[in-house]
Each structure stands twice: as C-alpha cells, then as structure tokens.
A and B are shown apart, each in its own frame.
Chain A
Amino acid sequence: MEQKKKELLVLEDILGSNKKIAGQIRKKLDEHGILAVNLLSAPGSGKTSLLEKIGLELKDNYRLGVIEGDIETERDADRIRKIGLPAWQITTHGACHLEARMLAKIFDQIPADLNFLFIENVGNLVCPASFDLGEGLRFVLLSVPEGDDKPKKYPEAFITSQVLVLTKCDLLPYLPFDTDRVIKEALEINPHLKVFKTSATTGEGLDELCAFLEEELKLRLSQHA
C-alpha cells in the first residue's frame, strides 16, 4: 500500500497542560481567598530565612502555610515547622523546578481557611520561571553576595515576577554590590516590579514587605468577595 504523507497544523502550547492545572489551582485559591506567593531564586539566596521571618511576623494575625520544593530532603519544611507553621515538602528527585501538577497532587492537604500560602520553589533562577503554579504573586529574590548583574542575565525570572526582594542587605558594606544598578536594570526589563531591600539578620525591610502582603491580601479579598 502506498504511504501518504501529510502535514498537520497543530499550534498547541507545549506548556498548555501545566497552564491548565495552574488555572484550576488559581481558581480554587481565589475561591478560598488564599493569596499564594511563589518564591524564585538561586540556591542560597535566603528564601527559607525570609519565610521564617515573614512567618513569625504574620502568624499571630493570619493563617499561613508553606510548600517547600526541593530536589531532596525535608530540611526546609522542618525549619518552617519549627516556627509553628504547617509545611508540605515536595521533593522533585532531580527535577529543577516545581510544576503545577506536583502541587495539584498535594493540594487536598492544604487547609481551605489559609490566608497566605507560600511556595518556595526549587533553588534555581532559570527553570522555575517557565512554570505557572497558579500563584497570585511571584517573588524573585536576589541576595547581595550573588552580584548586581543578575536581572539581565536571568531575564525571565525578573520579567515574570511582580516583586523583587533584595536579601542579605546587611552585607552591603562588605561587598561591591551596586543596589541602584540592580534596581535600574530590573526595572528596565520589568518596569512594574516592586522592590524591597531586606535582611533576615537585621530585620531591615521586613515590616514593609509584610505590610505589602497584607495589602495584597485585602485587595484580593475585596476583588473576589
């Protein structure tokens, strides 16, 4: 029999299945009035330390939960549990990022009455940026020791985030890190980024960051009421 060759026009988004699941998660979060924050950064930028501090500051007035994404171990989730917050560990066993379907698997364990759900992504400034998790806000963290040239080197993480958190700012006197340059370059590729300068060691900037989160939660509750 003669073989027939034919061209098939498809035009289908390869990230479509992730986006679909992320959309379902976003809808559920909105229904429950939960503000989910996806935290992106390189390993060692201080995501867990920042979450510990935010957790301590907000936990008396709000219900918080943390999803920890790591390649292996429960170490980060244990740190969060130590300050009295519920934490769910997703170990990706090699995968360099979280995907919406990984979240969907544990979503039933998340209490519906949370106010804030923090999702600490796998430490990696590249791959996590491509995967929507259904979050309401995306934070990109950049620590002072990493250097001030990162926004344009890792543009996708900065373009897809709403908030840039500079961490370890207590080290500024000791390192050649030009804060103005970072902020200028970050705003050149994403003019709508909100920037916070913080230090989990001295507590600098944490009040402002927490106040911002409270405002965002209020805003969302009024929109979805």
Chain B
Amino acid sequence: MHELSLVADLFTIIEQQANQAGAKKVTKVVVSVGELSGVVPELFRSAFQSYKKGTIADKARLQLKMVKIKFKCRSCDQEITARNIMDESFSYVCPACGSKEMELIAGRDLYLEKLEIET
C-alpha cells in the first residue's frame, strides 16, 4: 500500500505544472501506469480521490493508462509483449532466438502524462 506516497508525489508535480501554466483548475489527470510498476490501480484511484480534496485538482477526473510489459532481445532485436508476468508460461528467454539477454523496455514506469486545465 505505497500508493498514497506516490499520489502525494503526483500532486507535487500537478501543482507545480498547474501554477506554471497559470491554471485555475485542473479538470483531468492522465497517468501512465506500467503493469510492472508495482501500482495497484484501484488503490491508486482511491488514494487520488482522498488526496485531491482541497487541492487545485479538487474536481479532477483521473484516467489511468495501463502500459503492457515489453521486452526486447539484445541479440536479435525481437520485441515481446508479456501478457502477464505472473503467467506460468512467462520466461525471460527470447522465443525467437533463445537468448537470455532480454531488456525490459516498457512496463516499469509510472508517470504523469498530461493534465487538462482551465485557465
């Protein structure tokens, strides 16, 4: 349950960005959530709802965009999207060439993608 501390950091960024842009209100917050970011969307959402009260994003809607886990093979450049890392069949081995030199290229990040503001 570390979502509350993440949401606190999210609001620091929201307030900075909104102030810089001269916003009166933030009406929508779009966050990109990697499936391997360790974030539970439901918990993030409820943390957001309780944190937003009294902030510039008081009435804002939260949109979470889930990002799939993606690997790239360092040997043959094959890209693989993992359906689910908890899938029993998942393995860190390239299905095309058998190499174990796989690089995680998407799915770990958690970032604020965009805001909708009223000026």
> Which A residues have a C-beta under 8 Å from some C-beta of B?
3-18, 95-97, 99, 126-127, 129-131, 152-153, 155-156, 159, 187-191
Contact = CB atoms under 8 A, between A and B. Distances in A.
Contacts, number: 107
A13 B33 CA distance: 10
Nearest to A155: B85
Contacts of B6: 14-15, 130
Contacts of A131: 2
Contact of A14 (B100, B101, B110): B110
Contact of A7 (B90, B100, B115): B115
B118 A4 contact: yes
Nearest to A92: B5
Kindly list the 10 A-B residue pairs having the minimum CB-CB distance in the complex, ordered from nearest.
A127-B2, A130-B38, A191-B100, A188-B91, A8-B115, A10-B112, A3-B118, A14-B110, A155-B85, A13-B111
Given A4-B118, A5-B116, A7-B116, 5 more contacts: A8-B117, A10-B114, A10-B115, A95-B2, A127-B1
B114 A9 contact: yes
Interface of B: 1-2, 5-6, 9-10, 12-13, 17-18, 21, 23-24, 27, 31, 36-39, 85-86, 88, 90-93, 100-102, 104, 109-119
B104 A159 contact: yes
Given A6-B117, A189-B92, A17 B9 contact: yes
A6 B111 contact: no
B31 to A, nearest CB: 7
A130 B5 CA distance: 11
A95 B5 contact: yes
Contacts of A189: 85, 90-92
A11 B30 CA distance: 10
18 contacts: A3-B119, A5-B116, A6-B119, A8-B17, A8-B21, A8-B23, A10-B17, A10-B115, A14-B6, A14-B31, A14-B110, A96-B1, A99-B5, A130-B37, A152-B86, A152-B88, A155-B86, A159-B36
